[in-house]
Amino acid sequence: MELLVKKAKRGDAEAFIELIEQNKQSMYRVARGFLREEEDVADAMSETVLTCYEKICTLKQDAYFKTWMIRIMINHCKNILRTQRRSIAMESVPEMENQEAAVGSEGFQELIEPLKEQDRCIFTLYYVYGMKVREIAAYMEMNENTVTTRLKRGRNALRNEMTGNRELGGRG
């Protein structure tokens, strides 16, 4: 991947396209961890691709392209969520047809759907990407204890959901 990054930094559009192709599933999973609507996920992904293309020369270490790209993705997702909070939009029921099956995370996304959007992202980073609490805290600009608490609270909520106790966030 580092060779592709070097080529992309020199202006090779084909190398950049290949980098994005190799990482599009990761981008989708992270965006889906934050956002419910497919349109928002698509917006976040396209904004991320554009930002990466425009700023790839600012990447200091080629080996960290994916980490850099995911950080940009998280920032775009947060911006979308901030914009949604500011505008009072009608609540819509998320339609989860067969779009997620393409990336193989349908079961996981369905499982974490009842969690709050920020907790879904933490779960995605922790369980799908295997990131450590410290890394998640840095990515999401949170305290490590907050990430640990949200993981624990989310696990309890999911346990309650699976055992029939529908109180999300309840103790169990």
Q: How confident is the model at residue 86 (pLDDT cuts 50, 70, 90)?
A: low
Per-residue three-class SS string for 92-135: CCCCCCCCHHHHCCHHHHHHHCCCCHHHHHHHHHHHHCCCCHHH
What pTM did the predictor assign?
0.56
Domain locations along the chain: 1-86, 104-172
Structure confidence by residue, pLDDT tens digits, 120-149: 888 888 887 778 888 888 877 889 999 999
Q: CATH number of 104-172: 1.10.10.10, 3.50.50.60, 3.30.470.30, 3.90.1150.10?
A: 1.10.10.10
